[in-house]
Structure 1
Amino acid sequence: MFRNCLALAIAGLSLGVSPVAMATAQGAQQGADAALPQPAAPVQQLVDDVDIPYQTFTLDNGLQVIVSPDDKAPVVAVSVWYHVGSKDEPKGKTGFAHLFEHLMFGGSENSNQSWFKPMQDIGATDMNGTTYFDRTNYFETVPRGALDTALFLESDRMGHLLPAVTQEKLDIQRGVVQNEKRQGDNQPGGLIDYEIYGTLFPEGHPYHHTTIGSMADLDAASLETVKDWFRNHYGPNNAVLVLAGDIDVPTAKTLVRKYFGDIPRGPQSHPAEASVPTLDAPVHRDFKDQVANTTVSRVWAIPGMTSEDAPALDLAASVLGGLASSRLDNQLVRDEKIAVSVSAGAQQFERVGLFQVNAVVKPGVDPQKVGQRVDRIIADFLKEGPTQAELTRAKTQTVAGTIRGLESVGGFGGKAVTLAQGAIYAGDPGYYKKQLRQKVALTPEQVRQTARKWLSRPVFSYTLSPGERGEYQEAASAVGKPAQIGAPSYYRAPLSSEHPLARKPAHFATPAERAASLRASVAPAPAPQGVDRSHLPEVGTIADLDFPTIERAKLSNGIPVVFAHRGGVPIVRVAMDFDAGAAADPAGKSGLQAFMVTLMDEGTDRYDSAQIAKAKENLGATISVGSNMDRSGVYMTALTPNLAPSLDLMADIVRNPAFRPSDVERVRDQQLARIASEAKQPVGIALRTLPPILYGDGHPYGVPFSGTGDPAVVSKLTPQEIAQFHNAWIRPEKARIYVVGDTTLDQVMPLLESSFGDWKGTGAVPKKDFAAGTPAAQNRVLLIDRPNSPQSLIFGGELLPVQGTDDILPLEQANDILGSSFLSRLNSDLREEKHWAYGVSGFINRVEKQVPYLIYAPVQANQTGPSIAAMTQDINQFLTEKGVTQAELQRTINGSIRELPGQFETAADVLNGLEANARFDRPDDYYETLASRLRALSADELDAAARKVIDTSKLTWVVIGDAASVKPQLEKLGLPVEVQGSAGAGTPE
C-alpha cells in the first residue's frame, strides 16, 4: 500500500492542538523556562577550546600516520583504518568485508596464533575490530612498554597475513559470522534493517545491502576470493594508522618506519561512489515480529557525512526527536501521551545517510493516529523550523558530548577514531573541528531550509507490530538445504556491536598548545631498517598502576565525600550512591524501587519534566538516575564552568521529586512497555526467568535482574507509595558522594555543601532483609518456547557459597581462564573450535551478598543440546584433570596487571573504581596493591578457588528457543526438561 504520510498529516488536522492554544502554552512555558539554571560558558567558547593536537607523516609506501601525544596515562591507542567496507563488495560477495575482518584476528605469518593471545599477555584494553559500509578498523590500547609488540602484530597482519589464512580458518570464521548474523536476526525487529536499505537504495546501489551479508554469499566465499579481497584492499596506501597517547612524534616515526616501512604498496583502492536516491513515490509497509509494542517509523535517504547539509540535518534530528526536550517527546510522550518513547537521528555514512524518526505506540492507541501526529509534527517543523532556544540546546549538547569524549585516546571512540574518521572520509584529521564550527554557526532558518530540502521528498514509512515472522533463511553450511524465508531474498542481518560509534576526541588543548600548531605535516624520514620477525618483540617496562590520590571529607549532615582529581578535560563527574537498589523492594512490591528512580528526574517541586530536560541541555550536563540490585544512584557529568548550576539541578532531582499523578501515569506506561519488551527479547526473558529460580521468591535477589519488576505491581503503585519509598531510602544517612574530574576537593566542597549539606532525613532508617533462605539447586533445563528463532539463548546459573564482599581475586582469575575472557575455555570451544556461537561467556555477577555464576551462550538452534553438553564437559574438565596451565596462568596474570593503566584512563573509570571499593568493602589502596597480589597467585590457588565453589551438578539451564526443534536435543542430555510459553508462563508440557 502506498500513501503520502505528510499529506495524511495535513488531512488529519483535527488531531492537533489549535494554533492559539499552542501559542498560549508556548508563552507560558517560556515564562517558566526563564527560571531554569543558566550556563556559565556559551557554546561558542566551548567550541573554541576543543582541540586535538596532532602531527601527520606518510611513509614511502603510502601509509598515512597520525600522531597525537597525550601523557595523562601511560598507554598508547593504536588504530588502523582501511578505506574499504561493505559498500565496496561486488554482487554475490556480500559480507566479505566483515568476514575478512574476522580472519584478521586468526594469526599472521610470523605470529600464527589467535591475535588475542599476545594482546591479553601485554595487557591490551579497548581491543576489537569493526566493519561498516565505508571502512574496516582494528584497534587496541596498550601499555607504553608494549607498543613495539602491538606495532609488530599490526604490521605483520598488514604485510604478512596470507600465508596464515587457511581453509580451516575460513570455515571457522564463516561459522562465527553466520552466528553473529543469527544473533542479530533473532532480536525483535532484527530483520527491519534489510527492508530499510533494500527499499531506500535500489538494486545495485552500494548501500542496498547491509554489512553482515547474506547466508548464501557467506556460504559461497572461497579461500582464493577472500585472499583477493586482502590483496586488492589491504595495502598500506589504503590505510591510516593513528597513535594517540603517551608517545612523542620522533619515537612514533622511528617505530612506524621500523615495523611498516618495508610493506610494499598495494593496488590503489577506489571506494565505490554513490548518489543519494529519491523514491519515486512514498512507500509504506506493515511488518510483524515478536515485538511487545507497535513502532511507527519514517525514513529518508540523506547525504553523507562530508556534505555541507550534514550538520543541519543532525541538528534537525536533535530538535525533532534526539533531545530529551525534543518536539516529539514533548508532544507525543509528555502532552498527548500516545507514545511511550520517540527518537530521531541522522546516521551519516561516507556517501549517503539515513534520517529516521521512530515512535513506540502506547498500548491501546491506534498506530495510524500516532503516525499522523508524527507526520504533522515533522510538517510543522519543515514549515516553521526550530526556535533559537531549541537550536542552542542542540548545539550545546553536541559540543558537550564531544568534550565528554575528550579523555579517551582509543577504543570504539576517542581521539584516535576522531582523527582517523576525518583522514579517511574528508582527507583532514581535524575535520571534526570544522564540523563543530559549521554546526554552531547555523541559524534556525538554515536548519529549516536544509530539513525541508531533504524531508519533503517521498518517505519510506513502516509499522512494526506484534505478530509472528516467517521462517528463517538458514546457512547451507550449517544445516544443509537452506529454508525459505517469508521475506525478500536480500535480507541480511544488522550488525550488533559493530555499528560505527560516536566521535569521542580525547584531548583538551590549552591556548598555548593550539598556538603551537602541531597540525603541520612532517617530512618523510630516512628509509626503514629491517625488523626481525622471527619472534615477538620483548615487552618493555610497564610500571604498576598509579591510582589517583583519594581524598575524603564529610558534609555538615554527615554525607561522606570521596574525591579524586582527573584533569585534562573541563568536565567533572559526580555520583551519589544510596544503599537501596532492587533488593530494597518490600515483599510483594517488585519494581517499586525501579519505578521510583525512573520518576525522580521526571519532575520536581520547581521544574516539570520538560524543564528538567531543557535545563540539562542548556548546561551541557548529563544527569541520569539508575540502580542495580544493591544501589540506587544519581549520576552527573558537568562541564567545569557549569558545575555549580548543574549540581543545583542534580540536588533538586535527588531531594525534591514531585511524583505528580500525571507523571506517574505517563512513566507507568513507559515502565510497563519496557517490561513487555523484556519479555520478548531473549536476554530479557533470561534475566526475568533465572534469578527467581536460583534465589527463590522470598529472597531480595529473587527478582528479575533487569530490576524493572512485576508488571502487576507496577500497574498499581500509587504516588503516595512511591514518595514514601523515596523518603525512606533516598536520604542522607544512606548516601555517599563521589567526585572525579577537573576540580579540587576544596573547590567542590562548598558547592556540595550548598546543594546537599542541609538535607535531613525523616523517620527510621530502613534495612534490607536477607534472612530468607534459597531453594536447593536443581540440575535441570527450563525451555521457553520462542518459535522460529534462528538461535537459542542458553542462560545457565548456580548460586556460589560466596559473598560479593569476600576476597574473590583467585576465583576471578580462574574464571578469566574458564569463562570471562575471549580466550576462555568456553568461548574457545563453542566459538573458535566448533563455531556454534558468536560469543560465549561465564561470569560472576558480583552482587554484595550471595553471588551467582552465570553462563551466557547464544548458539545456533540445531546445536542447542550439544552446546550444553560441551560446556558442561569443558567446566568439569577444568575442575578436574585439566586445570589451569602455566601458559594460561602467565597470560591471565600478565594481562590483569598490565591492563590496569588502560582500565583507569578516564574520570569515569576512576569513579567506577571508587564506587566498587565502597560497595565491596575494599581499602583505598586496593588497586595500587592489586599487581603485587596478582603476581603472588599460583595455578594451584586458582584451581582450588574454582573447584571449591563451582559445581555443574547444581547448574539450572534456561533455554530460549524454538521448542519444536530444540526439545529433542535437550532430552538427550539426561536432565529433566520443562517447557513453558515464551512469556515465561504457561502450563508445563
Structure 2
Amino acid sequence: MHFYKSLTAAAVATVLLGGCQLTSSGAEQPNKAASAQQQRQALPEVEISHQSFTLPNGLTVIVHEDRKAPIVAVNVWYAVGSKDEGPSQTGFAHLFEHLMFNGTENYDDEYFGPFEKAGATDMNGTTNNDRTNYFQNVPTPALDMALWMESDRMGHLLGAVTQDKLDEQRGVVQNEKRQGEAQPYGRVFSVLAEETFPAGHPYSWSVIGSMEDLNAASLDDVHQWFEDYYGAANAVIVLAGDIDLETAKEKVTQYFGHIEAGKPLTKTKSWVAKSTGTKRMTMEDNVPASRMYKVWNTAEMGTQDSDYLGLLVDIFANGKNSRLYQRLVYDEQIASAVFGFQYDRVLAGQFILGADAKPGVELSAIEAIVDEELQRLLKEGPTADELARVKFRQAANFVRGAERIGGFGGKSDILAAGEVYHGNPAFYQQQLETLQNTTAADIQTAMDKWLTDGAFVLNVVPQPNYMTGESQADRSELPTVGALPELDLPELTTFTLSNGLEVALAERHDVPTVQMSLVFDSGYAADFGDKPGTASFTMNMLKEGTTNRDALELQADLDSLGTNLNASASLDSSRISMDTLTTNLSPSLEIFADVLLNASFSADEIERKRSIWLQNITKEKAQPQAQALRVMPGLLFGDNHAYSVPLTGSGTVDSISALTRDDLVSHRETWLRPDNARLVIVGDTTAEAIKPILEQQLANWEQPTSSKPSKQFVPVAQQQSNRVFLIDQPGSPQATIIAGQLAPSGNTSDAEAIDVMNTILGGSFTSRLNMNLREDKGWSYGVRSTWLDADAQGIYLTVAPVQSDKTKASIQEILRELTGYIGDETATPAELEKVKSNKTAKLPGAYETKGALLQAIVNALEKEQDMAWLESYGERVRSLELDAIHTVADDVLRPNALTWVIVGDLAQIEEQVRSLNLGEVTVLDADQL
C-alpha cells in the first residue's frame, strides 16, 4: 500500500487524534462568490500521540489513547509475508494466516466465536508481500479475552494444528484463488509479478501462490514457518483506544511475557530490479473490455522518490481532473475507465497505470496517449493548482481515516506500519514533511529517473469467445468479558426550513468534519412505468456539470475544499451525500446546492455517461453474482412490479440507450423536491450555525404546487414450487449459486427476529451455511444468506460460489440446511445466545464514525423512529426468545419454493443441476440480461 493513499497533510491547523482536541484556522469565512480554490482553508496537520515499550522477549508494543468510545483496537503485525516464502513455497504465508483462525492448544475451536460473543468489530487477518496482520476492535471489558486469544495463537498454536485442519484450510485458500481468478482481470497480478521481476525475486510470485505449492504444503512446513517467523521479537502489537500505557504494560506482560523470542532473522532491505527497454505481453481472458496495464519498477517504500511518485499518480491518473482521465475519457472518449497507483512495498515499488478501452478502440491508441501525456508532464511539470489540489484531497481523506482507531487504515494500522516497515511508529510524520516540501521539480526529477525506461506493457483482451519470562496467565479458561456499557448516542435536533425541508442534526465534535445526506423517497422503484435505470442515471448525472460549473470545474472545486460529494440511488431511496471539513462547510454547501438545483444535463455529458454506463452493464454481465442479481428481482416479482428491476440499479441496455434529457429532467422535477426529502446531518456543527447557511443556499429550492409523488406497489404472492434458471459462463472454474424467495418488508415488527434467524443460518462467518460449505467441506471461499429488507416486500437470498465439480452436492447441502432449520434442526439456545451476545456486545463501537451514525439515523427516521429506538436496539434483541426465531424461520423460509439462479460453465454444471430434479430448468441468454 502506498502511504499517500491514506495519508497526506501539511501544517497550519492542529488535530491531536488521541486527546481528540481540535483546533482550526481562525481565518474569516470567504465570500461565497469566490472560487472554491480561493476559499479552501489551510491543510490539517495530524499527530497520532503514542508511547512504546518492548518486553524482554523482544515484543514491541505501541499504545495510543483515544477515549471517545469504550473500545480498544488490538492490531498484531508479524514482519513476514509472501516475500519470505521462496519460489517453491508460494502461498504459504497466506495459508498460515488461515490456520491462525482454527484454534490453539488452549482454545481448540473457531477463533471467531469468543469475539462474536463479545461484540468485536473490524476483525480480520490479512497477508501481503511484506507482513501478516491480525486485528479486531473489542469493547473495553473484552480486552483481556482478546489479548489471551492473540497471545495463545502466538505462543500456543502448533499443538492444535492437525492434518485435517491443514487440508481444510488448503481447500478454502484454493477456493479463494479460484474465486479471484474467475473474476474479470483476476489473473493479472500473478502475471505482473512473474513478468516484472526476475526469477527468484521475492515479489516474482503472487501472495496467494500456486496450486502446486499449496498442495505440497505439509505439517512440517507449518511447524517450521511458525518457528521461523512467529516469535515475539518479530511481532508488533498496537493497542489503540480506551487504554493507557500502564494498563497496556500490565496486560501485555501478563499474556505475552512468557512467549519465546523466536529465531534471529536476516532480511533483505532493498531489491528494486529496475528494468531497461520495453517488454510487452498480450493475455486473453474472460473480460468485458480490453485493458492496458503499463508498469515500471521504482524506488522502494519510505524513499522520497516513492512519495513523489505517489503524488504524481494522483495528478496523472486518479479522478476526473487527472490528466489521463480528461484526455482519454473526456476529450478523446476512447476509454471508459482510467486508474493508477504507486504500489509501495519494502523491497521495491511499482508505478502502475491502466485504462479500459471502449469497444472498437485499439489499446495501442490508448498507450500512445499515455506516453504523450507522460512526456508533456515530464517536460512542463504539474501546475501549482494540480499539486495543491492533490495534497489537500489526500489530507482530507486522512483526517477522515484517522477518525477510526482500528480496521484498514485506522490509527493502529498507521502506527504498526511505521514500526514494522521503518522502525518508527511516527514515520508518517517524515512523509508529511516530504509532502509539504514537494515541488513540481521534485516530481519531474522522479519521473525522469524512474519512468523514462524499463516499462512492461500488458494488454488484457477478451477471449474470442529474545528472553522468556514465566507465564502469568491462567490458560485453563478464557478470561470473562465484563459488563458492557449502554449505548449513548448524541441528541437529535430537528428543525424545518422555510421551504418545508425537514432537517435532523446529531452533533459530534471529535474531528472537524461534517457529513450529511439529503434522502429522497424515490430510488429504483420510482422507475416503475418509466425506463429502468432512470433514477440511478439521473442521480449520477447531478455531478456531471451545472449551469455554473462544468463537470471538471465542479470536481476541481470539491477537491480544492477537501470535500466528497456523491449522488446515488438504491432500491427505495435516492440521496445526495456530502462529507466536508468544518472550516469549508459554507463553500461546500454552495456546491451542494448547485448540484441539487442547477444540474445542466448537457447533451455531451449524457452521451459520455451513457457510453460508460452501457459498458458497465456489459461488465456486470461478465461477473457471475451481478448477472444473477440482474435477473432475480424480475423472476421473483414478475414484470409488472416496481421492484422488477436489476438489483444493481443500472437498468438495461435498451432502457439506457433510450434515455433522453427530458427523462432526466422529469425525474428530477418529479421526485427531488423538498416535501419528498429529509436532510440528515452528523458532525462538527450546530443547528444555530448551519440553519442560516442552509436557508441561504436552498432559498431557491421551492416546494412545487403539484401533489407529492408516490410509488405504487402490488403485493406479490409466494411461488409454490422450485424453479431453476441457468446462465452459461464458459470456462469458469466456479458455479455461483443464488437461491431467492420473497420475504417480509423491512417495516415488519419481526425485523430483529428475522435478522437473528438469518445470522444463525447464513449471515455470519460462523453461520451454519458457511461452516458447512467452507469450513467442513472446503468447497467454497464463503457462503452467505441475506435478507434484503425493502420497504414494500423483501427478498431472501442464499449466495454460494462453489467449485464447479461440487455444484450438485452444494445445492443438496443448502437444501439440507434450509429444510433442517425449519424441521428437525431448528435454532438452538446456544446459537441464539451467541448471536444475541454478538449483536449487543458490538454496539459500543458500532457508531464510532459519523458515517455509521448518519446511516443509522437515516434508517430510523425512514421507519418513523427516533434515537431512543436506536438506543433500545440492544434491549429488543436481548428480549428475543427461541420461539420467536422458530416462528419467523417457519414464516420466511420456503426451501420447496425457491427460485434458483446458477451461473457457471454449463458444460460442467448443467447435468449436475438437472439430475436434482428441483423443478423446471430454463437456460437464460446472458446477452439478453
TM over 0.5: yes
Query: Does residue 1:355 correspond to 2:348, yes or no?
Result: no
The letter of the residue matching 1:734 is N
Which amino acid letter does the alignment assign opposite residue 788 of structure 2? N
Amino acid at match of 1:153: M
**Alpha-carbon distance in structure 2 between the residues aligned to 1:101 and 1:594:** 40
Change (3 A) 1:208 1:263: same
Instruction: Name the counterpart of 2:107.
Output: 111
Is contact 1:299–1:354 with CA below 8 Å preserved after alignment? yes
For 2:80, the aligned partner's letter is V
The residue matched to 1:953 in structure 2 has which SS? coil
**Match of residue 102 from structure 1:** 98
Q: 2:477 aligns with which of 535, 544, 565?
A: 535
Write the letter of the residue equivalent to 2:44: L
CA RMSD of aligned residues (A): 1.9
The one-letter code of the counterpart of 1:959 is I
Equivalent position of 2:125 in the other structure: 129
Query: Which of 886, 889, 913 is 1:970 aligned to?
Result: 913
Deviation at 1:363, TM superposition (A): 2.1
Instruction: Indicate conservation of the 8 Å contact 2:261/2:468, yes or no.
Output: no
Q: Out of 864, 875, 878, which is 2:821 matched to?
A: 878
Q: Which residue of 2 aligns with 1:797?
A: 740
The answer on whether the counterparts of 2:178 and 2:733 sit within 8 Å (CA) in structure 1 is: yes
Query: 1:728·1:764 contact (CA, 8 Å) conserved in 2?
Result: no
Separation in 2, partners of 1:239, 1:275: 23
**1:675 alignment partner in structure 2:** 617
SS of the residue 1:418 aligns to:
helix
Matches within 5 A, 1:852-863: 852-863=795-806
Contact 1:81 1:136 (8 Å CA) reproduced: yes
Q: Which residues of 2 match residues 632-643 of structure 1 at below 5 A?
A: 632-643=574-585
Aligned partner letter, 1:682: P
**Secondary structure of residue in 2 paired with 1:78:** strand
Aligned pairs for 1:243-262 within 5 A: 243-262=239-258
- Aligned partners of 1:200 and 1:278 also within 8 Å: no
- Structure 1 residue aligned with 2:605: 663
Matched, 1:399 2:424: no
The residue matched to 2:726 in structure 1 has which SS? strand
Q: How many residues align?
A: 897
Closer, same or farther: CA 610–145 of 1 in aligned 2, 3 Å: same
Instruction: Tell whether 2:653 aligns with 1:711.
Output: yes
C-alpha separation between the residues in 2 aligned to 1:268 and 1:560? 64
Query: Mean alpha-carbon deviation: is it higher for 922-931 or for 444-453?
Result: 922-931
The within-5 A match list for 1:33-432 is 36-38=35-37, 40=39, 42-43=41-42, 45-47=43-45, 50-432=46-428
How far is 1:886 from its partner?
Answer: 1.8
Q: 1:696 aligns with which of 638, 649, 662?
A: 638
Report the residue type matching 2:121 in the other structure: T
**What amino acid does structure 1 have at the position aligned with 2:760?**
I
2:627 to 674, 685, 693: 685
Partner Cα separation in structure 2 for residue 659 and residue 296 of structure 1: 31
Residues 323-332 or 164-173, more deviating = 323-332
Moved more, 853-862 or 352-361: 352-361
Counterpart CA distance in 2 for 1:246 and 1:603 is 45
Which position in structure 2 is the counterpart of 1:740? 682
> Which residue of the other structure, out of 451, 455, 461, is the alignment partner of 1:459?
455
CA distance in 2, matches of 1:559, 1:657: 20
Contact 1:544 1:897 in 2 (8 A): no
Report if aligned partners of 2:57, 2:467 keep a CA contact under 8 Å in 1: no
Whether the 8 Å contact between 1:206 and 1:274 is mirrored in structure 2 is no
* Counterparts of 1:348 and 1:57, CA distance in 2: 28
Structure 1 residues 87-96 or 262-271, which shifts more? Answer: 262-271
Counterparts in 2 of 1:970-989, with a 5 A limit? 970-976=913-919, 978-980=921-923, 983=926, 985=928
Would the alpha carbon gap of residues 869 and 380 (structure 1) be closer, same or farther in structure 2, given more than 3 Å must change? Answer: same
Which of 895, 900, 904 is matched with 1:952 structurally? 895
Equivalent in the alignment of 2:488 = 546
Structure 2 residue runs of 5 or longer lacking an equivalent are: 1-31
Q: Which range moves more in the overlay, 741-750 or 767-776?
A: 767-776
Q: Tell me the CA shift for residue 699 of structure 1.
A: 1.0
- C-alpha spacing 1:39/1:627, structure 2 compared with 1 (3 Å): farther
Cα separation, partners in 2 of 1:247 and 1:648, compared to 1, 3 Å: same
- Distance in 1, matches of 2:464 and 2:626, equals 19
User: Residue 436 of structure 2 aligns with which residue?
Assistant: 440
Superposed CA offset, 1:655-690 (max 9, x none): 110001011111111111111110111121111121
TM-score scaled to structure 1, two decimals? 0.89
Identify the range of structure 1 (721-730 vs 210-219) with the bigger mean alpha-carbon deviation. Answer: 721-730
Partner residue in 1 for 2:665 = 723
d(CA) in 2 for partners of 1:918 and 1:759? 22
SS where residue 563 of structure 1 aligns?
A: strand
Alpha-carbon contact 2:274-2:298 (below 8 Å) kept: no
Higher mean C-alpha displacement, 851-860 vs 566-575: 566-575
Cα distance, 1:800 vs structure 2:
1.5
Name whichever of 679-688 and 178-187 sits farther off: 679-688
Provide Cα deviations, 1:125-155, integer angstroms capped at 9, x if missing partner: 1001000000000001000011000000000
Letter in 1 for 2:891: K
Structure 1 position 741, deviation (Å):
1.1
Q: Which residue of 2 aligns with 1:494?
A: none
Aligned partners of 2:403 and 2:511 also within 8 Å: yes
**Rounded Cα–Cα distance in structure 2 between residues aligned with 1:535 and 1:948:** 40
Separation of aligned partners in 1, 2:274 and 2:508: 49
- Cα 1:813–1:39, aligned 2, differ >3 Å: closer, same or farther? farther
Identity across the alignment (%): 41
User: 1:778–1:714: structure 2 CA closer, same or farther, 3 Å change rule?
Assistant: farther
Change (3 A) 1:173 1:708: same
Instruction: Determine if contact 2:58/2:467 at 8 Å carries over to the other structure.
Output: no
Alignment of 1:785-824 (within 5 A): 785-824=728-767
Match among 771, 782, 787 for residue 844 of structure 1: 787
The SS at the match of 2:856 is: helix
Counterpart of 1:952 in structure 2: which amino acid?
Answer: P
SS at match of 1:351: coil
Change (3 A) 1:722 1:588: closer
Contact 2:292/2:356 (<8 A) preserved: yes
Shift of 1:452: 2.1
Counterparts of 2:152 and 2:378 in 1: how far apart (Å)? 53
Shift of residue 774, structure 1, vs aligned partner: 5.7
Could you tell me whether the CA contact under 8 Å between 1:205 and 1:274 is conserved in 2?
Answer: no
Tell me, what secondary structure is at the counterpart of 2:89?
coil
Aligned match of 2:21: none
1:964 deviates by 0.7
**CA distance in structure 1 between the aligned counterparts of 2:359 and 2:674, rounded to whole angstroms:** 39
> Offset of 1:984 from its aligned partner?
5.4
Equivalent residue, structure 2, for 1:654: 596
* Residues in 2 aligned to 1:750 and 1:347: alpha-carbon distance in whole angstroms: 45
Question: Structure 2: how far apart are the matches of 1:178 and 1:274?
Answer: 31
Q: 1:751 aligns with which of 669, 682, 693?
A: 693
How far, CA to CA, are the matches of 2:428 and 2:897 in structure 1? 54
Residue deviations 1:884-938 (CA, integer Å, cap 9, x gap): 2121111111111110112111111101101111223333312211122222111
Q: Distance in 2 between matches of 1:935 and 1:265?
A: 44
What is the deviation of 1:691?
1.4
CA distance in 2, matches of 1:526, 1:244: 26
Query: Which residue of 2 is the match for residue 562 of structure 1?
Result: 504
Q: Do the aligned partners of residues 874 and 535 (structure 1) sit closer, same or farther apart at CA in structure 2, a change above 3 Å counting?
A: same
Whole-angstrom CA distance in 2 between matches of 1:140 and 1:570: 26
Deviation string, structure 1 residues 730-771 (Cα, Å, up to 9, x no partner)? 111111111111222222222222222441143442211113
Question: What does 1:892-907 align with in structure 2 at a 5 Å threshold?
Answer: 892-907=835-850
2: CA distance between counterparts of 1:641 and 1:805? Answer: 42
